[in-house]
């Protein structure tokens, strides 16, 4: 025999989780899609060093890198934000 109270709690928790997930998507809708990867710590350190030296952001450096990659593949350079 199943516990009706436990089943009701599970249903409410699932509905709450689904609501939180959809709310999170709405909050980030204007920011675009997240792209990430795992690299050696030295890569992160060097990237942040360039960021400081050039007084820019990691976001801007990654946009530049992606646009250069696209350019070498004869694709439109579309990564840079136009704000």
Total of domains in the chain:
2
What is the rounded CA–CA span in Å between residue 24 and residue 1?
Answer: 37
CA angle 53–49–54, rounded 5-degree value: 25
Q: What is the pLDDT of residues 24-65, one digit of tens each?
A: 554 556 778 999 999 999 999 999 999 999 999 999 999 999
At 26 the pLDDT is: 47
- Residue range(s) defining the domain that contains residue 45: 35-83
Query: Is residue 3 classed exposed, middle or buried when 0-12, 13-18 and 19+ CB atoms within 10 A define those classes?
Result: exposed
Q: What's the confidence (pLDDT) of residue 64? A: 96
65: closest CA among 41, 44, 47, 83?
47
Q: What is the per-residue pLDDT for 16?
A: 55
- For 51, other C-beta atoms within 10 Å of its C-beta total 15
Q: Are residues 51 and 83 in the same domain?
A: yes
- Clarify whether residues 51 and 80 are in a common domain: yes
């Amino acid at each position: 025999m199943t516990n009706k109270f436990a089943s009701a709690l599970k249903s409410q928790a699932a509905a709450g989780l689904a609501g939180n997930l959809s709310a999170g998507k709405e909050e980030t809708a204007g920011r675009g899609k997240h792209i990430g990867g795992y690299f050696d710590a030295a890569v992160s350190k060097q990237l942040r060093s360039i960021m400081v030296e050039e007084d820019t952001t990691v976001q801007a450096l990654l946009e530049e890198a992606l646009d250069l990659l696209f350019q070498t593949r004869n694709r439109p350079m579309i990564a840079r934000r136009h704000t």
